[in-house]
Structure 1
Amino acid sequence: MERSNARLGWLFASPYLIYSLIFFLFPLLWATYLAFTNWNLIAPDYEFVGIQNFIQAFFSESVRAAFFVTYKFLAMFVPIVVGGSLLLAVIINSLPKFKGLFSVAFFLPYLASGVASAIVVNGVLSYNSPFNIWLRDSFGLDIDWLGSSVLAPLIIALMMAWKFAGYYALLFVAGLESIPKDVYEAAEIDGAVGWKRFWHVTIPMLYPSFYTVTILAVGLMFGIFTEPYVLTGGGPDLATHTWQLEIYTQAFERLNAGYGTAIAVINSFVTFGSILVFRKILEKWGAKHGW
């Protein structure tokens, strides 16, 4: 009977397993193999070059730039989006009559096309845009928003935060709704009201939501492509050059598919390693405060 149930379980799971095998596992193994070749994306023949692609990537200035730019985006994006989404969640949760309306309104940017959003931002902030012309004529401010190695990454980080804050806010709203009312009542009896209640009751109870949102935000920054590609093309001076831009440039513009795949493999290890580090930090932080 147990064997029959086990076979039935495997039978029901087989469509998903076959799908995963065809579209995930096989491409992953094939890409890993190609990382050790000199495939140029067009020619049917290619040679095995060992770890040459990985050595080349290690000494590449653009790969190093992608590495540091990603962590620069992390340093800007994660605090902004976590703090912003928490603020939105508190606002939504404090207006029960309009909770549905505000939830949808704040979630809409997440549904917007990244390309369309980037084109709009580019139209507003490009050097000769009407907005910049107005700033120059009215206030004498000559600001090249997207041509500055300082401002361009910040603008992209703010744009990404605008896009994802509503989505993450819904995760915080779910966390706020899961906090039992009797916990707040007990806190009020102990004199915890207002800011004290928020800091000593709400924040600790939201730890699972903080954990989830932070990990999602960290993982997102290692896959960012559309916004820097449309707005700056990775410039100026590689200031917004991300992992995905480097992979795209090498594999599809320079047709160094084997080398581009090697960079993708490196990116995968860096991504998983970074997420693991952030997980450990968050877990220790939670354990330290008894969350």
Structure 2
Amino acid sequence: MNTKQGRLGWLFTSPYLIYAVVFFLIPLVWSLFLSMTDWNLISPTFSFVGITNYTEAFQSPGVKAAFFVTFKFLAVFIPLVVASSVIVALIVKGLPKYKGIFLIGFFLPYLASGVVSSLIVKGLLSYNSPINEFLRNSLGLDIDWLGTPFAALFVVAVIIAWKFTGYYALILTSGFESINKEIYEAAMIDGVSAWQRFWKITFPLLYPALYTVLILSIGVTFGIFTEVYQLTGGGPNFATNTWQMEIFTRAFSNLQAGYASAIAIIASVVTFISIFIIRKIIELWGKRNGWD
């Protein structure tokens, strides 16, 4: 009986296992092999270069920029998307009815194409756009949105935050709904203000939903590509050059597939370690509020 159950279990898990082997394990092994070659993506032959690609990558300005730019995006995007998601969830929570319809409306940007939204924003922020003409003529501000390092990074962060706010608000809304209403009633009887109720009751009890949102948003930060590719191409002066942008440029623009594979391996290690450390910090905050 145990043998039959074991075979049945393997049968049901086989689609995922096959998927993991074909789309994860095999590409990972192939990427590790390519990272030690000088393959140019076109030539049928290539040479084995050992760890040369890795040593060059550690000295590359583009790779160094990708490392720091990712954490800059982290510092801008995470507070922005978490704050906007909490605000949207609070707005929906306070609605007397039709909450589902409003949540769907906020969720729709998540389904929008990153290419389309980036092109629209590029048009809105162009030099002759109505927005820039208004800023120049009325306020005397001449802002090069995509040509200034921080402005370009901020614009990309805002677009991605706009896209994911509705999705994360769904998660936070379910977190709000799971909080026992009797706790609020007891706090109101004790004279606790609304501000104190939010920071002392709601925020700590929202930890499971916040934990999920934070981990998901951190993962998004390490995979930014479409918006950067469409708007800035990694510029100006590497100010928005993410890991994915650097890998794409090296592999498909410079035809350095082996070198790009080495960067991809380095990016994977940095991503894993960073998420692991940040996750532990978040879990420490959860334990301080009674979550094990």
Q: Which bin holds the TM-score, normalised by the shorter protein?
A: over 0.9
2: distance between equivalents of 1:273 and 1:67?
13
Structure 2 counterpart of 1:134, one-letter code: F
Deviation at residue 51 of structure 1 after TM alignment? 0.8
2: distance between equivalents of 1:240 and 1:78?
16
Mean Cα deviation higher: 223-232 or 9-18? 9-18
1:58 partnered with 2:77: no
User: Which residue pairs with 2:224 in the alignment?
Assistant: 224
User: Which residue pairs with 1:166 in the alignment?
Assistant: 166
User: Which residue pairs with 2:89 in the alignment?
Assistant: 89
Change (3 A) 1:139 1:8: closer
User: Which residue pairs with 1:189 in the alignment?
Assistant: 189
User: Which residue pairs with 2:18 in the alignment?
Assistant: 18
User: Which residue pairs with 2:204 in the alignment?
Assistant: 204
| Structure 1 unmatched runs, 5+ | none
User: Which residue pairs with 1:112 in the alignment?
Assistant: 112
Question: Superposed, which structure 2 residues align to 1:242-261 within 5 Å?
Answer: 242-261=242-261
- Cα deviations across residues 108-134 of structure 1 (Å, max 9, x unaligned)? 111111010000110010223233233
Under a length normalisation based on structure 2, what TM-score does the superposition of the two structures give?
A: 0.96
2: distance between equivalents of 1:196 and 1:131?
39
Structure 1 counterpart of 2:91, one-letter code: I
What CA RMSD, in Å, does the superposition of the two structures yield over aligned residues? 1.4
User: Which residue pairs with 2:276 in the alignment?
Assistant: 276
Counterpart secondary structure, 1:121: helix
User: Which residue pairs with 1:179 in the alignment?
Assistant: 179
Deviation at residue 171 of structure 1 after TM alignment? 0.6
1: distance between equivalents of 2:55 and 2:178?
50
Structure 1 counterpart of 2:135, one-letter code: L
1:240 partnered with 2:240: yes
- Cα deviations across residues 26-64 of structure 1 (Å, max 9, x unaligned)? 111111211111111111111221111110000000110
2: distance between equivalents of 1:43 and 1:193?
69
- Cα deviations across residues 118-169 of structure 1 (Å, max 9, x unaligned)? 0011001022323323332343322111111121111111111111111111
Deviation at residue 256 of structure 1 after TM alignment? 0.1
Deviation at residue 107 of structure 1 after TM alignment? 0.7
- Cα deviations across residues 208-262 of structure 1 (Å, max 9, x unaligned)? 1111111111111110001111111111111111111100000001100010011
| Structure 2 unmatched runs, 5+ | none
2: distance between equivalents of 1:173 and 1:64?
38
1: distance between equivalents of 2:2 and 2:137?
80
Question: Superposed, which structure 2 residues align to 1:32-181 within 5 Å?
Answer: 32-181=32-181
1: distance between equivalents of 2:179 and 2:289?
18
Deviation at residue 193 of structure 1 after TM alignment? 4.3
Counterpart secondary structure, 1:146: coil
2: distance between equivalents of 1:137 and 1:190?
54
Alignment size in residue pairs:
291
Structure 1 counterpart of 2:261, one-letter code: T
2: distance between equivalents of 1:79 and 1:95?
25
2: distance between equivalents of 1:65 and 1:269?
16
- Percent sequence identity over matched residues? 59
2: distance between equivalents of 1:92 and 1:54?
49
2: distance between equivalents of 1:187 and 1:137?
52
- Cα deviations across residues 187-210 of structure 1 (Å, max 9, x unaligned)? 333333422222211111100111
Structure 2 counterpart of 1:249, one-letter code: T
Mean Cα deviation higher: 195-204 or 128-137? 128-137
Structure 2 counterpart of 1:255, one-letter code: L
User: Which residue pairs with 1:215 in the alignment?
Assistant: 215
2: distance between equivalents of 1:151 and 1:289?
37
2: distance between equivalents of 1:166 and 1:12?
33
